[in-house]
Amino acid sequence: MNLPADFQQTVQAAYGPRGQAFLNSLPELVHEAARRWGLTDLHPATNLSYNFVEFANCRGQEVVLKLGVPHRELTSEIASLRIFEGRGTVRLLEADAELGMLLLERLRPGQMLASLTDDAQATHIAADVMLSLRRPGTADPSLIRLQDWLDGFHRLRARFEGGTGPLDRRLVEHAEAEALDFFREEYQPTLIHGDLHHFNILSSERGWLAIDPKGVVGPAAYEVGPFLINPWVVSSWPPDAPRLTQTRIAILSERLGLDERCLLEWGMAHAVLSACWSLEDNQDWQPAMQCARLFSDELGSS
């Protein structure tokens, strides 16, 4: 199997020896999925990141085969897709959490939200999806708790002996304090996507739908974090980023019924946390911190 070099490097950097074992086992996993679910006409996607994705046919239906390193987030994705039941998300057809295999409906036309040039329109669409996904949090142990993700701050401190390494200490301390303060307050635990951004919302015959949910239980306001830093963390930084952020926050606050300052606080917390994860995975952390600085500036002027 001829795998792209950047895909292999990403998997190895994120999962170490388990990632290499996964890459080595991919031919057998694809064969097992095809045998088990009757898949034909398999061909790989071209934009691979942390998972191996192939398009296929399953008894006359177009489907997507997703294979990943078995881990907590993949198990939580499967659990959350079963809870969402295709309402606001792609439909899960089959899954094997132990082997890290998912069979999903294929969304057509499958246009990414990132392809829209009207940022306000994209924000309204994202708000629609967020509202479709909103569910009360459950006690399902397969789902991720947002408190667990906040351990990223602790790992950063442990790695740099109480410091913050290359990350701006002021921004890290602000993000840590705001996250802890929010969890001290009373809030309604909500099941959220956890990674809802412009590349994880696709057009379909059923409307705009989310893919690749993390399945996180936490404050509803955290859902906006990944959206606010995208697509800027993977593409060019827009010259009017402050204005775009203000417009996004205003739209999301009105549509979701959430306080503007709260959305900015969680946006900054997520940006810093994203930088922590990028640092752990040997990825570029600077775009996420640039977003954190922007949100911090907006908070200071509000």
Output the six-digit token pair for 174: 């602000």
Distances 31 to 42, 65, 135 between C-alpha atoms, Å: 10, 11, 36
pLDDT at 302: 63
Rounded to whole angstroms, how far apart are CA atoms 252 and 264? 11
Sorting pLDDT into bands at 50, 70 and 90, what band is 198? Answer: very high
Please say whether the beta carbons of 201 and 127 come within 8 A: no
Choose among 113, 137, 123: nearest CA to 253. 123
Q: Is the pLDDT of residue 211 over 90?
A: yes
- Three-point CA angle 233, 244, 224, nearest 5°: 60
Reported as a single tens digit per residue, the pLDDT across 123-179 is 999 999 999 999 998 889 999 999 999 999 999 999 999 999 999 999 999 999 988
The average pLDDT across 105-122 equals 97
Sign of CA dihedral 118, 119, 121, 125: positive
- Amino acid sitting at position 115: S
Mind listing the domains of the chain with CATH numbers? 5-106 (3.30.200.20), 112-301 (3.90.1200.10)
Run of H or E residues at 242: helix 241-256
Give the mean pLDDT of the chain. 95
Q: Is the pLDDT of residue 76 over 80?
A: yes
pLDDT at 186: 66
Residue 189 has a CB neighbour count (10 Å cut-off) of 15
Which three-class secondary structure state does DSSP give residue 83?
helix
CA atoms within 13 A on the CB side of 173: 5
Read off the pTM: 0.94
Reported as a single tens digit per residue, the pLDDT across 30-43 is 999 999 999 999 99
Output the six-digit token pair for 114: 């990132």
Which three-class secondary structure state does DSSP give residue 44?
strand
Higher pLDDT, 212 or 137: 212
Please say whether the beta carbons of 216 and 193 come within 8 A: yes
pLDDT at 137: 87
Q: Is the pLDDT of residue 185 over 70?
A: no
Run of H or E residues at 37: helix 17-37
Sign of CA dihedral 162, 234, 281, 181: positive
